[in-house]
Structure 1
């Protein structure tokens, strides 16, 4: 890190003069306006190698092609993926003002009914509860014959089969077959249909591999019976598990009339208010149901997620609209169209949108599931931050096309969660807050939860500061609001959810570290002063109340046994992760205290951080595995979060850092990243789960310990997996076994806490980061690994800080463009003993001695300090043997 002491201004002036005369390098614009591609030129032409087709270009604006944001707030789909039923000209939906798409569906005949007095019983039935509309719901067998397709029988044996439904008529009835109407959240996949004849059960039909909600089951021949038994041996897997759900059984085989539908693809995850321009419709109030999904896998006749799934609403998993005969320009806003019928959920995060000519039975007569609908076009009113090349105040480009895609994929993911806090759009579980309404915030996900969580800011706020620091208020608004809701005992809520009461053990520590990050990147001293009392109270009142006699945080003390953490993990006692995060928070708090002249607090917190670090090393290091224990209680396991943070915070010595990271590689390495646990003792398949959130500090730890290639390997496995799998580009909340969506349809596929690849590449590969608030001081310490070249820009309150370097077997060229009113240092990769560092014709380090006191060697690397405003260009050469 650069020293805070006054530098030798002589070398700054001399280096700047030498840099200005370097052939092939031009000066960077130091204006504080928005950056342009020309603001930071490429390295000298003679240093560039030829690139193949599609390879990154260092020419001005070479990074523009990686930017993913829309060009305007009106976003249109890019292709039609499928259409079903009677649909004319589906491609017309892609372009407004031309041909029209037409969906038609005839009115079906009345459904067949059982004779009066028919009864039904089942092997089990789920207990009743209140539905989304707050009204009581039952799930007993009778729902399967009540003539109401909105009610259903739900068995009560999660994942246990068979499930048996028996229907008994009051007299013998001739049957040619039956029709099973199921719920999309529990479609029976494999089942037999038996009938009672001649005093015994006989199999009339067998169904396997079914995925249809309406399944006609014809019998080989007509039978006369008064009893029908359906035995389900497997039901479709859902995010809720394996339950059988049957809405209706009809006493005849009825083939469904195909529902006319069109699915459009926006090409990547988008967020906002969907819009459909209906030009006309038949006069019978035809309904449309609109389903949304981030992936094709979980796009069915219902959305992968709606807020109504959590807190009510009569949507049945889709958004509804009854189309007037004269047409309408419909924007999907939350609410009912007609009284308490025809419900839409409003804003969505999705990639795929499916329009179906259909309606819920409960929406009749306001909407009918038949008729004709003519549609001109589909669009989305994009609500999040619109990131275009002109808005990027920080950017990155390197010789590796994959790394560039991941960096800008992270930037776009973060743009999707940078949005205004609005009552109708946020998590419905008591997360709305008058103190946040209308303010720019960082949500956690585009689809869900859509509530700002402070732990997520530990990653997403850094991503924001390095790309769009003009939106830094999004982080400040969240931090300030949570501080304003601090509990009397000092605990800080993790988010507004649950009226600021969700009990998490680790997130108050993230409030401390994120507050320091905010001040470090923005220089906002006013925020530091305003919320310093909050800092004192959380560190000196609440966390001491959960500290044991060894000085370690111990979950379970002071009534915290039921508190969760970032993944609601059942960990108790002395947990390495909690204590390593505590050390980081204390270190950051000490830095903030020094900024405000509170030296006594800084000393006390630094001393406490050292004591906690010593206790972690003494009590939580597992010699047999060469890694830190996850917890001192329960089964032996070793976690990614605790081991990584122990390295990042300096708790681990160099030897222990190397050992711990080697253990993680040996036990958690997967094709789609590194798992966050090394075994399954915490929960089943924990060792197969990957969180980019906890992988970020591991990637940092590998860069910091000289394992750049290992860090890049982990980036390529994890972010490469997300980049090449649906929905592509954006970064997932979590990855499950074999690279699956770890919580099925519920998984957020665009989550800000997963964007750590961006700060990792900027701060460690490119190598630039602030070392004191507002970039008053900074350092550039490239860790290139096998990357040939990199260039980029960091936004600072004083103007852009630009860095560009070129890496070959024997020569490393580095140029830094420094804004006014800042000073910093550069550290060169490689072993100082065989290195010659020069600027222009002047040698600064010859492999044995320095030519100025601003040149120093520490841990075998050469650092040049005292660099002020202007352009500074260096060459580091490996000397021959």
Structure 2
């Protein structure tokens, strides 16, 4: 949605612009910085920020990643194959065309009538996602239809054999195997039958070709062919063998003409291709999309039609008319039930080939000539150009700056209008969200708003583009409107709001408070307060055991999932720590709305749950909270981190738990979410940025800022350095790979926690009452030399700049908007210091002097009731 349309759809933004515009101009000097590119690149610049030269753009703007407008073009040609002329012409809107040519192939050879095929095993018949009955037996390999296939039924148990018997002897120069890209036979032998024994005619190893010709040393006369497969491309991952056709001849395949272009980063929207002309006969093109080159094959890395029947067979199709066409890829068929395209895609790389599915004939043919004038994308997500950033961040560490703005761009890719054709096809479409701005979980998939994801993506949005906060409200309100009779709140619209997750109603409570806290939307809190009461006082008590702990399995919840569908039941630290957080957040909403009894009851219950967690789930031997009270001993990142951020853990337990995570989960690509593999194989090698976010917060808040920064650089630096670069992955698996291979979303909003971690914790800005009526600034600088930034509020921008000048030396400037007041905490470096506010001494050594109620706590001097306006706080060693 263009920004002017977003403002029209969100009246709050117009009010905010009016309230905040003057303050924005007044903060020009504070919101700019001049840092040499060389120094910034090393991340070692220790100079305090200075004002930029007059007329120059603020330094932070150079980190912004969004395209300049909604028409996005590729930046380079990665490769091309086959008969292609002038592939570089695809990069511009005019000035030449790229021509793809392919001659019509000879008809595929056929086996004689009466030929039969048998196999060592075959997958049982089933219905596809579209309800069409499908068979996978051996006869599919000789039926002449390349859209059907033999599929073995052993899941990586080898060998798999396919035996073809002909009614009378034939002479074969060789054979050709046609397979699927997700089941290509890699290692296999071809044998022929002489009437009494089998003879090896050919051996193939390391094959990766979907169509593989296998010539024999000399022609063989035979009545039978046996193919024995001992490995396929993905055999280690449990993939079936698939053979679509075996042809009784050596069929040489001309290279399919195709070009792969790179858009430079993950983008999202509707692909657009301008065709100048084409030959007669409906030459087809197939478009394949991928966020990484690794998973770009003859099909996309993922497409929604894969989950709804596979109508496109992994690519989007178009039959080019002779006169050319200006084609925008929209979901649907071009001709009856043929030539399917899936519409919107999230991707970095686009492959366009002159090809067509056999099932699309005659509406599209895999040969002819096609001239392509240009390729582009109609960008549909929030366009976060520099002028749209209401909040920003900058520091002396270039890597932290890059990761903050990469998170902003990743999150922006997920802010989009809910459209029936673009969302998860597994019954996620809903009339109550159509046409509304939402925060999807990912750019590529699932493209459905999940409430748990909002726990990270919501703050990332509030701190950057608060004109789009309706994207969060719309999701929270819609899920509350679909609350079940027993109080449970669905996690998303998927499965007609019936996906059973145990933890996500807790995140609905937590995210509701976050939304109210950042936006001040009291009306939302009042409207959905009954749902809040019902989920906390009806549903969660129904799954609480006699010790006051949530226990998954009670009340029929044994098959409920969670954020990662983890196979755990019973008393889980993560669920109970999040419960404590939700209860305390709900108490804040109750207090806001004038329900003191509810607030007191929930706070008391939160305390009881916290005590039960410490009694029953603390593992003193490990110095960490157990993942589960039953089964193998393990300790999770999720439970331990949230136990700290929710206040369950005292200072000693918090320090011990973080030490345990450092010792057991540290990886080159982040911190794993579990300390051993007893939950599932490889869990100690899996990194979720979603659960890493509370660990980062916990480290900052417990005085371990440098360990948080180290974790940030390992996690986000790894993603930045690996394809697709920049955007933040849904999950990282063993050896730093995408954790679910090609299915992994490589631009996922729940992974953007580095942004709120740096603004809320490193810079130190947090709201303490709804709408930033009150706020705190409490920097956790670690070894970072300086930082500055701006946070949008309903009252106008709140700007902060600080310089970490040395032990006991710290300078902080804060400018608060009208109608607000705040508390500032400045670090002492563990030394006796004097503190001056606006040139007046308010603290010296161990004693307050003057206003602001100055006091010393946990290595900080705290100053209360700073009024709106600009204040300079200077910390120096005491005389």
The alpha carbon displacement at 1:479 in A equals 0.3
Match of 1:280 in 2: 277
Q: Does 1:39 align with 2:27?
A: yes
Distance 1:773 1:669 in 2: 37
2:167 paired residue among 155, 170, 176:
170
1:397-436 counterparts in 2 under 5 A? 397-436=394-433
For residues 596-630 of structure 1, the C-alpha deviation after alignment (integer angstroms, 9 at most, x for no partner) is 11111100000000000000000000111110000
CA distance in 2, matches of 1:792, 1:729: 21
Higher relative contact order (CA 8 A, sep 6+): 1
**1:75 matched to 2:72:** yes
Residue among 346, 349, 362 paired with 2:346: 349
SS in 1 for 2:540: helix
Within 2, Cα distance between the matches of 1:801 and 1:53?
25
Give the one of 241, 244, 249 matched to 1:244: 241
Whole-Å separation in 2 of the counterparts to 1:415 and 1:474: 11
| Aligned 8 A contact 1:553 1:574 in 2 | yes
Provide the residue aligned with 2:4 in structure 1. none
| Among 719, 723, 732, the residue aligned to 1:722 | 719
CA distance in 1, matches of 2:591, 2:872: 33
Shift of 1:54: 4.7
Residue 835 of structure 1 and its aligned partner are, at CA, apart by 1.7
1:737 aligns with 2:734: yes
Offset from partner CA, 1:87-142 (integer Å, 9 cap, x none): 00000000012100000000011111111111111111111112344311111111
SS of equivalent to 1:33:
helix
1:774 shift after superposition = 0.3
Q: Distance in 2 between matches of 1:600 and 1:303?
A: 55
- How do residues 90-489 of structure 1 correspond to structure 2 at under 5 angstroms? 90-197=87-194, 199-237=196-234, 241-489=238-486
RMSD across aligned C-alpha pairs, in angstroms?
Answer: 1.8
Which residue in 2 is equivalent to 1:797? 794
Structure 2 Cα separation of the partners of residues 732 and 35 of structure 1: 36
Distance change in 2, residues 1:777/1:35 (3 Å): closer
Note the alpha carbon deviations across 1:269-304, whole angstroms, 9 max, x for none: 000000000010001100000000000000000001
Distance in 2 between residues matched to 1:257 and 1:511, nearest whole Å: 55
Gaps of 5+ in 2: 1-16, 44-48
Deviations 1:46-95 (A, max 9, x none): x9899537568863510111101111111111111010100000000000
Q: Whole-Å Cα distance in 2 between the matches of residues 487 and 148 of structure 1? A: 48
> In 2, are the aligned partners of 1:35 and 1:393 still within 8 Å (CA)?
no
Counterpart Cα distance in 2 of 1:358 and 1:446: 27
Distance 1:333 1:36, change over 3 A: farther
Unmatched 5+ stretches in structure 1: 1-28
Q: Secondary structure at the match of 1:139?
A: coil
Distance change (3 Å), C-alpha of 1:50 and 1:494: closer
1:764 aligns with 2:777: no
Shift of 1:852: 2.5
Relative to structure 1, the CA distance from residue 286 to residue 132 in structure 2 (aligned partners, 3 Å threshold; closer, same or farther) is: farther
Query: In 1, Cα distance between the equivalents of 2:786 and 2:478?
Result: 42
**1:669-722: per-residue Cα shift (whole Å, max 9, x none)?**
100000000111111110000000000000000001000000001000000011
Could you say which residue in structure 1 is the equivalent of 2:674? 677
TM-score by length of 1: 0.95
Secondary structure, counterpart of 2:389 in structure 1: coil
CA contact (8 A) 2:842 2:851 kept: no
Identify the residue that residue 17 of structure 1 maps to in structure 2.
Answer: none
Cα contact 1:34–1:393 (8 A) shared by 2: no
Spell out structure 1 runs of 4+ moving beyond 6 A: 34-38, 47-50
Indicate the SS of the match to 1:813.
strand
SS at match of 1:872: strand
Would the aligned equivalents of 1:68 and 1:409 in 2 still touch at CA under 8 Å? yes
Partners of 2:177 and 2:36 lie apart in 1 by 65
Q: Distance in 2 between matches of 1:559 and 1:213?
A: 46
Q: Deviations over 1:569-589 (max 9, x none)?
A: 111111000000000000000
Does the CA contact (< 8 Å) of 2:35 and 2:59 recur in 1?
no
1:754 counterpart = 2:754: no
Q: CA deviation at 1:831?
A: 4.3
Q: Deviation at 1:839?
A: 3.0
SS at match of 1:164: strand
Find the aligned partners of 2:207 and 2:878 in 1 and give their Cα distance.
70
Deviations 1:447-503, CA, capped at 9 Å, x for gaps: 000000000000000000000001000000000000000011100000000101100
| Offset at residue 242 of structure 1 (A) | 1.9
Measure the CA separation in 2 of the matches of 1:76 and 1:625: 53
Which residue is 1:86 aligned to? 83
Question: Match for residue 849 of structure 2?
Answer: 851
1:52 paired with 2:39, answer yes
For the residues of structure 1 that align with 2:512 and 2:375, how far apart are their CA atoms? Answer: 42
- Give 3-state SS (helix, strand or coil) of 1:229's partner: strand
User: 1:787-829: CA deviations, max 9, x gaps?
Assistant: 1111100000000000001112232111001100000011012
Provide, for residues 162-192 of structure 1, a one-character-per-residue CA deviation record: whole Å limited to 9, x for no partner.
1111111111111111101111110001111
State the shift of 1:840 in Å: 4.7
3-state SS of 1:280 partner = strand
The residue matched to 1:414 in structure 2 has which SS? helix
Deviation by residue 1:489-521 (Cα, 9 ceiling, x = unmatched): 100000000101100000000000000000000
- Give the match's secondary structure for 1:550: coil
Cα deviations by residue, 1:294-332 (Å, 9 ceiling, x for unpaired): 000000000011111101252111000000000000000
| Distance in 2, Cα, partners of 1:257 & 1:436 | 48
Asked if structure 2 preserves the Cα contact closer than 8 Å seen for 1:789 and 1:806, the reply is: yes
Cα deviations by residue, 1:355-385 (Å, 9 ceiling, x for unpaired):
0100000000000000000010000001100
Q: Does 1:548 align with 2:536?
A: no
Residues 245 and 395 from structure 1, CA distance in 2 versus in 1: closer, same or farther, beyond 3 angstroms? same
Aligned pair in 2 of structure 1 residues 90, 132: CA closer, same or farther (>3 Å)?
farther
Write the distance in 2 (CA, Å) between the matches of 1:372 and 1:36. Answer: 56
The aligned residue for residue 18 of structure 1 is none
How far is the alpha carbon of 1:859 from its aligned partner? 2.5
